[in-house]
Structure 1
Amino acid sequence: MPTSTPDPRHASVSASLTQAVLHAAGRLGVDRASLLAGCDLTESQLVDPDARLPFATQEAMWQQLSRLPHSEPGLALGLNLAPGPFSVLGYLLQSSATLGDALAAGLRYQRLVGEGGELHRHEQGEEVHLLYRPLHPNLPATRTRVLALMANWVQMVTPLLHDFRPLRAQFVHAQPTDLGPYTEVFACPLQFSAPEYGLVLPKALLAAPLIQANSPLQSLLRQHAEALLARLPSEGLSARVVTLLGEQLAHGEPDRSELARALNLSERTLQRRLAEEGSSYQQLLNDTRRQLAEHHLSSGTLPAAEIALLLGYSEPSVFFRAFRQWTGLTPGEYRSQQQGKG
């Protein structure tokens, strides 16, 4: 479950990502000083890797880079983007135990890198769809920016797995004349004029162990990432709790004390701050479970007993009682009602 989308007017990106883009452009022969001047940036704004810059500033940089003399500038830049300069998130992904864990961390902490769009994960049968929804999708520079990010995803993950092969890559724009750069980067079937940008992976790959897994480092990085996330505006504590609940539910009954620790809060402080936002832990847990239950029942064929396990219930009967309290219907009745609407 992704985090809440920030106000586009106040969207920001990390200085570390901006540095990475500048380095990639430099490898392609772009003059750094001219690029900085063209988007009204100074070197002093980039000294702290955790500093934030207005997204509009970096978007102006992408606009310049979209004019590079390459058949697909975004892919050329993506091949030269190094994950290290992305600061804490890059290292967090690399040290994850499995690809599934890395994707969960990517979804949880994506705002640390930038707010120029939002990554979503959807499962369809034996496929996992990683979809990227950019701000300002109709701007010409957006194609360059998103292609650079997608190419970087592949560059980052490939060395971490013994056999990383996407099932397909999809792009919003029409099929270009030169497919060479695409086949070189993605090495999989390509779909153009698609509804959204994204990569499709085999679901079985989520359990694949990562070569650089490091649990102690992962714990330290998560603490740092949570502290950085807490500094960012526009996402309330309630939204962060919902995100963590979505992750915990997949592993059983959520643990309030563990969730509070993940947020660097005591349970009492968590309770007080949620109350200040007009919410509570139990209310958010119930709302999250109800939302997920209704989604599974209306859009899939999973048996209700399996849905109960996915929602962290130890017994299906407990889920059935809760669902009837929420909707006045049994899960089976709700599913039939939704199918009837179709």
Structure 2
Amino acid sequence: MQDYQKRLALNLLAYAVQKNTDLAQLCSLSGVELAELKSESSPGLTTQQINALWLNATELSHDSLFGLHFGESLQVAALGVVGELIRHSRTIGEALTHAAAFSHLITDVLTMEVNRSGQTFTIQFIPATASRNGSPLIFRQMMDFFMAFTLHEADGLILQKIQPTTVRIPIEPINLPEYERVLRCSSIQNATDYVMEFDGRYWDEPILAADYDLQAVLLRKVSVLDEAYSNAKSLRERINNFLLANAYLGVPTLDAIASNLNVSSRSLQRKLQEEGVTYQQLTDSIRKSLALHYLQAGQYPIKEVSCILGYNELSAFNRAFRRWTGTTPVSYQKEHLSGFVVSDS
């Protein structure tokens, strides 16, 4: 995991230099030693260092859309073995499926979901709670980067420019033309989620560099990395990521999550206890994060937010929200959405 983070950080530094950024100043402000970053034996970057790199690169380059432009320029080879696996997939659909399956090896910022339905398919970028709750500027740069990179990485695979039919993304009107250019879409909708929809004809488009024998070798290699990554992560992190990625399905019961992880409910409880947390605490934390996100977005009535989070009664949601924040959902939303009409029904 750390090797991929360092690889991405080195590419970020290289791109920042192309934008006439002083490399020494960028590293100094971010608390990063370039020699250590290049060393294979050095420890990985901390979350604080990674965030500082994104923030300082954006400021020093004087590019408010640094993440978007960085994603447009990066090549899939920068992802190492995961990138090679993508490059040697049979079709665009298969490449995107692999990219989504192993995205957690590249970043903790988000997970990817690829869904095919009828004549279209979509790529959804689901932010991790920690990323969404951090600096809005850093969060936005990272989300822009991964959307632009995912789109442009496909160019070299089939030698044609893939164009989304629709893009959903939180966007400032003043930057709309540049998002339309980089994301190649004139139908960009202002929304709270991050989704690109494509014509289904791209799904089965063959990849020119496909090597099926090599792909099998790469898949085994990436699977070993994935297993090591999964074993290294705590059960708490794995459950947290699962709950966040599947939030649209509601919060599952302890028995349901245990079944998903192929363990007994009693074993799951015991392992979580060893990590100093209960399943109820994890679900409570997820509900709180999602509640704050939905209310800040302002696109859902409070009663609907309550239902999304699995509360049968609005009064139960109100009590839980007051326990989390010391205020009511209505008051909280009014504070964050001045100028908007707020409804609790």
Aligned-partner residue type, residue 137 of structure 1 = R
Q: Alpha-carbon deviations, 1:113-158, whole Å to 9, x = none?
A: 1111111223444222211122333621211121122221222101
Taking structure 1 as reference, are residues 51 and 215 closer, same or farther at Cα in structure 2, changes over 3 Å only? farther
Structure 1: 5+ residue runs without aligned partners?
Answer: 1-9, 244-272, 280-342
Q: Alpha-carbon deviations, 1:71-120, whole Å to 9, x = none?
A: 52222222332322221111111111011111121122111111111112
Counterpart mapping for 1:40-119 below 5 A? 40-43=31-34, 44-48=36-40, 52-67=44-59, 68-119=61-112
- Note if contact 2:101-2:112 (Cα within 8 Å) is conserved in structure 1: no
- Corresponding position of 2:157: 160
- Corresponding position of 1:189: 186
Is 2:169 the counterpart of 1:171?
Answer: yes
Shift of 1:206: 1.5
Equivalent of 2:124 in 131, 135, 149 = 131
Shift of 1:13: 5.9
Aligned-partner residue type, residue 217 of structure 1 = L
**Local SS of the residue matching 1:131:** strand
Cα distance in 1 between the residues matched to 2:100 and 2:29:
32
Cα distance in 1 between the residues matched to 2:41 and 2:69:
24
CA RMSD of aligned residues (A): 3.2
Shift of 1:55: 3.2
Taking structure 1 as reference, are residues 192 and 64 closer, same or farther at Cα in structure 2, changes over 3 Å only? farther
Shift of 1:170: 2.2
Is 2:201 the counterpart of 1:201?
Answer: no
Counterpart mapping for 1:220-299 below 5 A? 220-232=217-229, 233-234=232-233
**Local SS of the residue matching 1:62:** helix
- Structure-2-length-normalised TM-score: 0.60
Cα distance in 2 between the residues matched to 1:52 and 1:111:
16
- Corresponding position of 1:148: 145
Aligned-partner residue type, residue 30 of structure 1 = T
Cα distance in 2 between the residues matched to 1:76 and 1:275:
44
- Note if contact 2:10-2:37 (Cα within 8 Å) is conserved in structure 1: no
Taking structure 1 as reference, are residues 190 and 52 closer, same or farther at Cα in structure 2, changes over 3 Å only? farther
Taking structure 1 as reference, are residues 99 and 226 closer, same or farther at Cα in structure 2, changes over 3 Å only? same
Query: Mean Cα displacement is larger for which, 160-169 or 112-121?
Result: 160-169
- Note if contact 2:165-2:187 (Cα within 8 Å) is conserved in structure 1: no
Aligned-partner residue type, residue 234 of structure 1 = K
- Note if contact 1:16-1:49 (Cα within 8 Å) is conserved in structure 2: no
Query: Mean Cα displacement is larger for which, 148-157 or 77-86?
Result: 77-86
Taking structure 1 as reference, are residues 36 and 190 closer, same or farther at Cα in structure 2, changes over 3 Å only? farther
- Note if contact 1:15-1:48 (Cα within 8 Å) is conserved in structure 2: no
**Local SS of the residue matching 1:119:** strand
**Local SS of the residue matching 1:173:** coil
Q: Per chain length, whose mean CA-contact separation is higher, i.e. which structure has more relative contact order (CA < 8 Å, sep 6+)?
A: 1
Shift of 1:276: 9.7
Structure 2: 5+ residue runs without aligned partners?
Answer: 243-260, 269-345
Cα distance in 2 between the residues matched to 1:65 and 1:20:
12
- Note if contact 1:55-1:116 (Cα within 8 Å) is conserved in structure 2: no
Taking structure 1 as reference, are residues 218 and 118 closer, same or farther at Cα in structure 2, changes over 3 Å only? same
Taking structure 1 as reference, are residues 11 and 116 closer, same or farther at Cα in structure 2, changes over 3 Å only? farther
**Local SS of the residue matching 1:60:** helix
- Corresponding position of 1:28: 19
Shift of 1:209: 0.8
**Local SS of the residue matching 1:14:** helix
Is the helix fraction higher in 1 or 2?
2
